[in-house]
Structure 1
Amino acid sequence: MTTTSLAAAEIETLLGRHPKGFDLTLDRIARLLAALGDPHLRLPPTLHVAGTNGKGSVTAFARAILEADGRAVHTHTSPHLVHWHERYRLARPGGGSGLVDDAVLAEAVRRAASANGGRPITVFEILTAVTFMLFSEAPAEMAIVEVGLGGRFDATNVIPRPAVSVITPISLDHQSFLGDRVELIAAEKGGIIKPGVPVVIGQQAEEVALEVLTTIADRVGAPVCVYGQDYFAYEEHGRMVYQDGLGLLDLPLPRLPGRHQIVNAASAIAALRQGPYPPSETAIERGLGSVEWFGRMQRVTAGPLLDRAVSGAEIWIDGGHNPGAGVAIAETLADMEERVPRPLFLIAGMINTKEPVGFFSAFAGMARRVFTVPVNMSEAGIDPDELADAAIEAGLDAEPCDSVEEAIALVSTNWQATPAPRFLICGSLYLVGEVLGKNGMAPR
């Protein structure tokens, strides 16, 4: 964010005053919201989305479909990639939505910080309070709120009764906060399930995760809609077929590439069909075709990065950073390779709360080489030499580099073969945010 941003200046002040990271409890956020007049109790009907992988994509699909149906929608996502404003998308009078205005966000941050009165709290909790303030003060028909971390004790989980809850695929991530086994993580994510509120459960790679989630839902009396049991989606003849208890839809493939995005789109559709504004089939078709989600299998089509690459090269960006995300990304690249074969090079940076060997293992036998780079936007970045060792342990050739630009140049300078290479910049949302900012591709 540039120094001219009022909101960024306010948030940077908070970051210097309060501890970084997460401290999972609802006591502080409840206290702050009470001081602000409980704005979380005045939200429009809300879609609450948790999960390890895909929650941002489900949020993006849901917003695109609702807006294609003419609905006014507020959307909260986290983390941001380039600008703090990305976390807050507000419905606009007359249709559509846009990132919150800088002055509006700055004022909301000031009000929340003032109401907190300097008491112990995390910045994420203050920013979550800002979400509820903004969403309660501007008219909208629905809100979509993405969980920050976990679910049970995430600051967004003060919403007493969302319209629908969604839990996307669960895998290992944030083990120091959520537990080191999938069933423990599922229990934390399942904490957003509320009595009597329908819950849509996305495709789960491990049966134990599904068992934990359905047990929680049964215990609290939440109606369950499970992928593979109550709703289905698959590709057929270049189309997406969706089916649930309400019938079958023949739809275009989602604009976002990857088999996993068919499942994410299906979860969004299932959730919306149980909500207060079931979308028309036409709106679903339009939403699948218009959806945007920055930093997830996003292709670089112009800018300084592409200018550095050998002519004809492809550059893709994905911020996935855990083993489950690695599998989904690798499957997408394998499908690309089947259609248009190209040698694949990874450019990866990661932070030290992740599991690099597990992430890299998904690309064994696919990637020609891994170039590991610093994560400049985080103090927790893994040293490129150490990260290269992890890639080698996963069965890949790897070498450290000083930057993404250097890695692209190393391949491109002497590349004479045909076809031109395919690059994937991956491993960290911090790295992706830095790349998008430098390349003039900040989310809008």
Structure 2
Amino acid sequence: MHASPPPDLVLLNARLADGAELVDIHLGGGLIRSIGTRPPGPPGPAASGPPPAGAGPDAERLGRAERLDCAGRVVIPGLIESHLHLDKALLDRERPNPDGTLAGAIAVTGTLKRAFTAKDVRDRARAVLDDAVANGTTLVRAHPDVDPIVGLLALDVMLELREEYRGVVDLQVVAFPQEGVLRAEGTLDLLREALRRGADVIGGCTYNEDGLTDCRRQVDLVLDLAVEFGVPADLHADFADDAADPRFAMAGYIAEAVTERGLGGRVALGHMTSLAGRPAAERGKVLAALAAAGVAVVPLPATDMHLNGRADTVNPRRGVAPVRELWAAGVTCAYSSNNVRNAFTPYGNADLLEVGLFLAQTGHLSGPEDLARVLAMATTGAARVVGIADRYGLRPGAAADLVVLDTHNVRDVLLDRPARTAVIKGGRIVARSTRSTDLLFRTS
């Protein structure tokens, strides 16, 4: 959307950590140039007018820069939606899930996909992308379906949107076989063509095969494509209340297969809810294997809580991956919205702070340390999942993808659900939001 580079931008009086001095963040050339505290005393000419003569190139740049006074507001790195189905968003208005189950969601969506058009997919995806940007998201990993029902239509739309939104939000496109690979004849050829057309990531959906042998075969095929095309892999796996059905106990096999191919750090698994339903000792071994293999896990709490536990008549299970245990095992973690207002998840606004608070509530996570780690799952953790950690964060030289939040305490970011005072992509402000409240009473 933006071809010309933005002018330099300086964020004044930004809060990066509770109890620390406020800092100024200088952005230029799409990067963070510097982060520093201002000398004591009133602001000099470099902050309020043209630089003094002989001040040097850095001061000259600062003199010409735009300013945004954060006034002590919190600044965080841009939020990352590491797992989002833009092509299937907003379908609930057409046909909701009849029974609230995963099977029902797949069936309803499979029927609706037969009527997809490029315009329909594009319009719904744009609506959610716009919401995501307004809510502070600077990168989305999108999972369009690739299968004999919809072909490459949705993937082609995502590739177009990747260019359309360039400079506003980065879009990583996953070739995702929702209907399975072996079960849906012709899907493997479609996945190859998707990668040739420019898909960034190869996807998988292990549980949608007919048996354990085919599930393992799908893992092998998907990871072999990752090696062949030099792309990361992102699989939906182990999405059930427990591991009674072996199709939902694939984590150990996946860890072995990733290690065999040297793909550590380049494979993510979404959902992984059946981990929570395995015995504690068994669960510990699986988590250790995932950590050792460098396999990331992305819980999707809005979907996972909605679809799981439906057959339980007493003490319904949460059906969410055990986040605290993932942390303790050293597994790289993110979380994401997954779906927005469709048969899989009839809720949502592509707001990662809202999803993070829900994850904390459902995962027995509380207090400043836990909430800080949850927030990090949508920032630094997600950056590792999507492969941009080397150019991401709050440090000089990192991409100038930041969010100014209308709260003054880092520990309260998830609790406050603050307005996004400024969403900055590549050093350019791409969205703003405000929130005002008028109390129309006085107590004394």
What TM bracket, shorter-length normalisation? under 0.3
Name the larger-Rg structure.
Answer: 2
- TM-score norm. by structure 2 comes to 0.28
